[in-house]
Copies of this chain bind each other. A is one copy, B any other.
Amino acid sequence: MTPLTPPKAVEIVEVAPRDGFQSIRDPLPTADKQRCIQALIDAGITRMEIGSFVSPKAIPQMADTGELVAAFANRPGMRFSALVPNLKGAELALAQGVREVVYVVSVSESHNQSNVRRSVDESLADLARVVECLRQAGDACLRLDLGTSFDCPYEGRIAWTQVDAALDKALALCGDLELEVALCDTTGRATPYQVAEHFTRLRERHQRPSLRWAFHGHDTFGMGVANALFAIHHGATAVDAACGGLGGCPFAPGATGNTATEDLVYALQGGKVHTGIDLPLLLNAADLIAALPGGQTASHLREVPRERVS
């Protein structure tokens, strides 16, 4: 039995400004978002999905993403990304100054249809154009969010062959582009040993130096922290989380929040894993986020007396 030793460092990608704010029905005032984002930066967050470039009709909550990018993009040491569902979104993101584009495609047809209103093949065809666009931009990189990599709210458990089919095509399109692939447990239904097996298998299948792995999880089934740690042990160098456990997916019925950043940071801190994040300051940000009107948060750490969080 090999002891589970902690890695030296893990990159936390804070997704509350995208996955979280999008889950609040009434769009938040931009100033409220800015306060939360600033608090997250103050806490030491260095990677953040700041919003998405999507149709403001479909998701009005994200309509001010350009404004947020403009307000924060030039912070030193910060790496902001924005989610895009198509070429148009990618072009907008790049034009606004975003240097990391998160292209989302779900492995399951029905979730991709409800999430980005097109077939998986259409999404992949557009990915080719996004890659071309990024190559021309030169200084931008790509993150591929592979939605429903474990389970789909409509189709149930997803076979690995389905993930393989989508990822094989996507990687062929990306060539040697600097790329991070996130396996997304959109519904929170994945379990730790499945996450372990999935990452192990995919990393053996796709070995290339320009490829990095990430995990995006939800805590709906109570597996959030365990899944993230198992992903990290099997090669994920970045993990998504949402401060306050804010989140969900308007197109994934029943999904609750992303794994709370503070819960995950607490788990990692216990192994002296470097995240660069200050937990007390992160909890201040979580308090701000929890106070947002209409938000549903789910954080264990926020419920614990503050002096015990160390």
Contact of A305 among B4, B196, B254, B305 (CB under 8 A): B254
A301 touches B222 (CB 8 A): yes
Chain B residues within 8 Å of A308, by CB = 187, 189, 254
CB distance from A293 to the nearest CB of B (A): 23
**Is A235 on the interface with B (CB-CB < 8 A)?**
yes
CB distance from A284 to the nearest CB of B (A): 18
In the docked arrangement, what's the CA distance between A196 and B196, Å? 17
**Is A55 on the interface with B (CB-CB < 8 A)?**
no
Q: Which residue of B lies closest to A197 (CB)?
A: B3
Chain B residues within 8 Å of A191, by CB = 266-267, 269-271
- How many copies of this chain? 2
Q: Mark A161-187, 1 if CB is under 8 A from B, else 0.
A: 000000000000000000000000001
CB distance from A44 to the nearest CB of B (A): 19
A193 touches B4 (CB 8 A): yes
Chain B residues within 8 Å of A234, by CB = 1, 3-4
Q: Which residue of B lies closest to A269 (CB)?
A: B191
Interface 9-mer from A73-81, A85-93, A123-131, A224-232 = A224-232
Chain B residues within 8 Å of A2, by CB = 2
A230 touches B270 (CB 8 A): no
In the docked arrangement, what's the CA distance between A196 and B267, Å? 12
Most buried by B among A196, A221, A300, A308: A221
B225 touches A271 (CB 8 A): no
Contact of A300 among B221, B254, B273, B305 (CB under 8 A): B221
Contact of A223 among B192, B223, B267, B303 (CB under 8 A): B267
**Is A114 on the interface with B (CB-CB < 8 A)?**
no
A270 touches B194 (CB 8 A): yes
A193 touches B301 (CB 8 A): no
Chain B residues within 8 Å of A194, by CB = 270-271
**Is A304 on the interface with B (CB-CB < 8 A)?**
yes
Q: Mark A1-36, 1 if CB is under 8 A from B, else 0.
A: 111111000000000000000000000000000000
B226 touches A3 (CB 8 A): no
Most buried by B among A5, A187, A193: A193
Question: Given that A220-B300, A225-B222 are known contacts, is A271 also in contact with B192, CB under 8 Å in the complex?
Answer: yes
B230 touches A1 (CB 8 A): no
Can you offer 25 A-B residue contacts whose CB atoms are under 8 A? A3-B197, A3-B200, A3-B234, A4-B196, A4-B230, A4-B233, A4-B234, A191-B271, A192-B225, A192-B226, A192-B229, A192-B270, A192-B271, A193-B273, A219-B300, A220-B300, A220-B304, A221-B266, A222-B260, A222-B263, A222-B267, A222-B300, A223-B300, A225-B226, A226-B267
| Ranked 7 nearest A-B pairs via Cβ | A191-B270, A193-B271, A222-B300, A226-B226, A2-B2, A222-B263, A4-B196
Interface residues of A (CB under 8 A from B): 1-6, 187, 189-194, 196-197, 200, 219-226, 229-230, 233-235, 254, 256, 260, 263, 266-267, 269-273, 299-301, 303-305, 308
